Structure 1
Amino acid sequence: MPGSVAILRTSPVRVGGQVDETQAYFHRLFWTFPPCIEAFRHCKPLVSIDGTHLYGKYGGTLLIAIAQDGNSNILPVAFALVEGENAESWTFFLSHLRQHVTPQPGLLVISDRHNGIKAALEAPDGGWLPPAAYRAFCIRHVAANFALTFKDPAMCEWANRIDYSLWTQHRDDGRRFGHMTTNISECVNSILKGVRNLPVSSLVKATYGRLAKLFTAKCFAVTLYDRDNSEFTVAETTPTGSFSLGSYRVSLASRTCDCGVYQISSVFSVYRMGFTPPIPEGFWPPYDGPTVIPDPAKRRAREGRPRSTRIRTNMDEADPNQPKRCGLCRQPGHTRRSCPQLGGSSHTGGQ
């Protein structure tokens, strides 16, 4: 899709100690789509970030940034495939998120207390320090850490050591919009269900397809209109109009809405830019770089008997000149399956 942002990072392939210039290992990928970039301009100045493990042939983590529109609908705005959650991978994701999707000042980031996120957000040149941006903890993760760490009066001291602005509403200056957890990130697992075991290109295509469907589903229809009082009822429906997702009475004169917040124009603007059909692969610009291949070191261990980690010595090496012995009677010349003792016990058992 024209205007999409895709940032690929690779690592060198070495053959015989020399770098193979024709190939490169896949390392990290950040991507987002133009409708997501435009949509975030009309969303709450808040983004929830989280990571979820891949479970396909290769290991790794999918990082996601989630926004929310004025009607409390969740909206994924950026993705990244990385080797795992660490300071370098979170810095890669958050730096491109800031540059391409969320440049607005005063933004709030809600996350868990992962040290990699902390290091990325506190980097002096990352653009995430106050007053350019603020951070808040997911209270669910704080509570889980709290319960695991303390069983005595020291719990109060532990909680008081966390800056109140990071985990309480009365010190957040209204930036949380009532969001105390990263649940909107967790909910995206349902949107991306079944894609975390796909190859990289198929996973990216899946996010495009799911988002295109999400944008199409956000349809609004005016059901009643009072010209004299400049009031109308707007219904959020499915694309076919067969199912209502909510109905609100809006007054243009008093600029009020039944939902409690007059943000109708902002909600419409979020989904104004649609997803255009992608350009067929045969019409893509020519590529003259190295062939990107999967890193064999990132491949998951095959199912079955685990590899032995025992350090073997000379005593463990079998003599190739010695005949193999039966595992049952320890005599040479036959195997356990054809052992005479096995046949004798079967005969005895039959009597």
Structure 2
Amino acid sequence: MVRADASVSIKVLLNATAATHFGFRLTYRRVWLAKQKAVALIYGDWDESYNELPRWVLGVQLTMAGTVAVLKTSPVRVGGQLDESRAYFHRVFWTFPPCIEAFHHCKPLISIDGTHLYGKYGGTLLVAIAQDGNSNILPVAFALVEGENAESWSFFLSHLREHVTPQPGLLVISDRHNGIKATVDASDEGWLPPSAYRAFCIRHVAANFALTFKGKDARRLLVNAAYAKTEVEFYYWFDILRSEDPAMCDWANRIEYSLWTQHCDEGRRFRHMTTNISECVNSILKGVRNLPVCSLVKATYGRLAGLFVRKGREAEAQMGTGQQFSQHLVKCIEANLKMARCFTVTVYDRDNSEFTVAETTPTGSFSLGSYRVSLAYQTCDCGYFQALHFRVPTHWHAVPTHGLHGSLTSTRCIVLVRSSVFIRWVSHLPFWRVSGHHMMGRLSSLTPIRGVREMIVLGRSKPAKEMWALSAAGLHTSELPTARRSRAYTGA
């Protein structure tokens, strides 16, 4: 079962062993230990995995030029003397050249988040995710750290900015973690406007809101206000929220509107109101959080290679049929063209492509509203074009009856991205090579802290759980709480 799915839960394994005829029921602890041993047999030893990691990364860097890997270690001291032959694993950042190149062809935004590791030694996996014009999710950078704090986020975001996302005007979507805020607000990190902008994940904002104000209706009103594309629509929902409880609006007003509302984001969100880390982990990185560190890094390499191959074939198939635009946007256009049958277009300025659009019921008996549209200034009263526009050359599917070289689809002015742009980021298959190149030579050993390892295995005590790394212990003894130091650290 572990070979088929490393993320299989202990509960499932318990139920499977309960069905046997051994005459006794295993405890949770015994099944947990058995699973760790099974994972070690299949994917490599948990402790040795930390020593294998630098060798494997070095091999990939030699065979795939442009691979970025930053390994941070801590020194080992024995009896007050520095042991140069060993080091403690602390953090590692990595990305691959196809991901770096592909990001140039994605939307100018990234969502970042962290997810806990479920293996023997815990830790946190930080991921930066991009999305292209065909709504394909692409992880562009990773980091293994001890947990989410100011130092670990600074480590991740500084290398992300340096190696993957140097473009100006980038939007970063995240939760409201103080570690992210400290890094983004630092003047020397390159994440301040106009170099970069920040936006909050509305799901996390709503979750924080629900901690103070109970009730699903109030939370729904806040989310509706955040998703509003125009100021009028925003205040419609906000006024309803105020009528429920003015304190709710006071809570929301303590957060800058540009950080959580769509109508104030100047189109930078591209309608992305949440981080999509969960979807990415489940669809692309499923099961990797249960693996030893080296196997985890290898898995990101293999999964991404498979992703590029699969999306490359899809793009080539679309280009082979003569499809000019990405499949996702073609579907949006087709759906909106059907809705456009209930719209009446009146041209006011043919040279500047300015007109009004009146929406009626299917029978034409009642008016549902009227909108001003300007293709020259790329604006629409409905707010859809401002929310969806792409900063790339565009082609508008026009209103042929008026000879306008523009696009009108249910007043939702959707910008199209050509298939040729999509195929660029999936055309880097020659970069991907078969992994497994082993380097010979003497490398520093990444040594475990014995006391921590023994406590994790035997007691799973709270002090040990708070310490990242067991065998990867990346903390200096001086960084540990004084009251716990003697229990958690006994020397290397």
Q: TM-score with structure 2 length normalisation?
A: 0.54
Structure richer in helix, relative to its length: 2
Aligned residue in 1 for 2:279: 187
CA distance in 1, matches of 2:253, 2:462: 47
Aligned residue in 1 for 2:188: 125
State whether structure 2 residue 389 is matched by structure 1 residue 233: no
CA distance in 1, matches of 2:161, 2:450: 32
CA distance in 2, matches of 1:270, 1:195: 24
CA distance in 2, matches of 1:141, 1:307: 27
Q: Conserved in 2, the CA contact under 8 Å of 1:224 and 1:234? A: no
- From 432, 446, 456, the equivalent of 1:276 is 432
Change (3 A) 1:83 1:180: same
Q: Conserved in 2, the CA contact under 8 Å of 1:49 and 1:64? A: yes
RMSD over equivalenced CA pairs, Å: 2.8
Q: How does 1:178-327 map to 2 (within 5 A)?
A: 178-182=271-275, 184-190=276-282, 191-218=284-311, 219=313, 220=315, 221-222=317-318, 232-233=322-323, 248=330, 255=395, 260-274=415-429, 275-278=431-434, 280-282=436-438, 284=439, 287-296=441-450, 299=453, 301-302=456-457
Q: Conserved in 2, the CA contact under 8 Å of 1:32 and 1:78? A: yes
Larger Rg: 1
Aligned residue in 1 for 2:52: none
Please give the secondary structure, in 2, of the residue aligned with 1:24.
Answer: strand
Which amino acid is the alignment partner of residue 265 of structure 1? Answer: S
Aligned residue in 1 for 2:158: 95
- From 123, 130, 134, the equivalent of 1:60 is 123
Q: CA deviation at 1:193?
A: 1.4
Aligned residue in 2 for 1:315: none
Change (3 A) 1:78 1:87: same
- From 14, 22, 27, the equivalent of 2:90 is 27
Q: Conserved in 1, the CA contact under 8 Å of 2:107 and 2:133? A: yes
CA distance in 2, matches of 1:79, 1:305: 27
Which amino acid is the alignment partner of residue 175 of structure 2? Answer: D
Q: Which residues of structure 2 form unaligned runs of 5+? A: 1-63, 215-244, 334-393, 398-408, 464-482, 484-492
Aligned residue in 2 for 1:166: 259
Q: Conserved in 2, the CA contact under 8 Å of 1:26 and 1:295? A: no
> What is the CA deviation profile of residues 196-215 of structure 1, one whole-angstrom value per residue up to 9, with x for unaligned ones?
12122111100000000001
CA distance in 1, matches of 2:163, 2:281: 23
Aligned residue in 2 for 1:338: none
Q: Which residues of structure 1 form unaligned runs of 5+? A: 226-231, 237-244, 312-351
State whether structure 2 residue 197 is matched by structure 1 residue 144: no
| Pairs aligned (count) | 289
State whether structure 2 residue 56 is matched by structure 1 residue 3: no
CA distance in 2, matches of 1:129, 1:298: 39
CA distance in 1, matches of 2:80, 2:169: 49
Deviation larger for 24-33 or 55-64:
55-64
Please give the secondary structure, in 2, of the residue aligned with 1:193.
Answer: coil
